């Protein structure tokens, strides 16, 4: 896969966000081909995976 950035994110839940996970893995997939993003998501089959847009970047987020 192309050079990708992985950032392990940890954040505290607020009373307004009781269902958000506290730990998640975030991968910047902005420069990746769609097939590479799909392959990366399939490799995380035991985790919930979704796409997120932030600051003009596309992130693949995997929750525990």
Mean pLDDT by runs of 10 across the 64 residues of the chain is 48 47 82 92 88 92 87
- Model pTM above 0.85: no
Q: What is the DSSP letter of 51?
A: E
Helix (H) or strand (E) holding 40: helix 34-43
**The pLDDT of residue 63:** 87
Q: Which domain holds residue 42?
A: 5-63
Domains in the chain, number: 1
Q: Do residues 40 and 60 touch, judged by C-beta distance below 8 A?
A: yes
Q: How many CB atoms lie within 10 A of CB 24?
A: 21
**The pLDDT of residue 11:** 43
């Amino acid at each position: 896969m192309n050079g990708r950035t992985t950032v392990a994110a940890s954040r505290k839940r607020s009373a307004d966000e009781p269902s958000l996970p506290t730990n998640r893995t975030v991968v910047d997939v902005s420069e990746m081909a769609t097939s590479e993003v799909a392959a990366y998501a399939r490799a995380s089959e035991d985790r919930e995976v979704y796409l997120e847009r932030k600051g003009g970047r596309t992130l693949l987020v995997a929750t525990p």
